[in-house]
């Protein structure tokens, strides 16, 4: 079983490429994702059975916003690497 801080091994492409920078700026990112969202190995979040529709919608909204924030951060990190 992988540890959340090992996103450099088990994350998606951007998480693997920018793992050090992501974890230094968002230290709880990997733990939150591993604990609350999950990944089925095909970049799909894990199902959470037996929750009501409101919880499901909130969970999806949270992971979509978190993923969006990290994907927007990565180009800035790329610029930072060159200067």
What are the pLDDT digits (tens) for 22-35? 999 888 888 888 88
Q: Which residues of the chain have pLDDT under 50?
A: 1
pLDDT at 72: 93
- Is 42 in a helix, a strand, or coil? coil
CA angle 69/64/62 to nearest 5° reads 95
pLDDT at 2: 56
Secondary structure percentages of the chain, helix, strand, coil, to 5: 70, 0, 30
Q: Considering the entire predicted model, what is its pTM?
A: 0.73
pLDDT at 1: 47
């Amino acid at each position: 079983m992988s540890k959340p801080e090992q996103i450099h091994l088990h994350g998606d492409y951007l998480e693997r490429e920018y793992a050090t920078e992501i974890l230094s700026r968002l230290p709880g990112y990997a733990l939150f994702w591993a604990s609350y969202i999950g990944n089925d190995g095909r970049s799909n979040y894990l199902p959470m059975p037996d929750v009501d529709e409101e919880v499901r919608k909130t969970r999806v909204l949270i992971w979509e916003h978190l993923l969006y924030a990290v994907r927007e951060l990565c180009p800035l990190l790329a610029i930072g690497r060159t200067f």
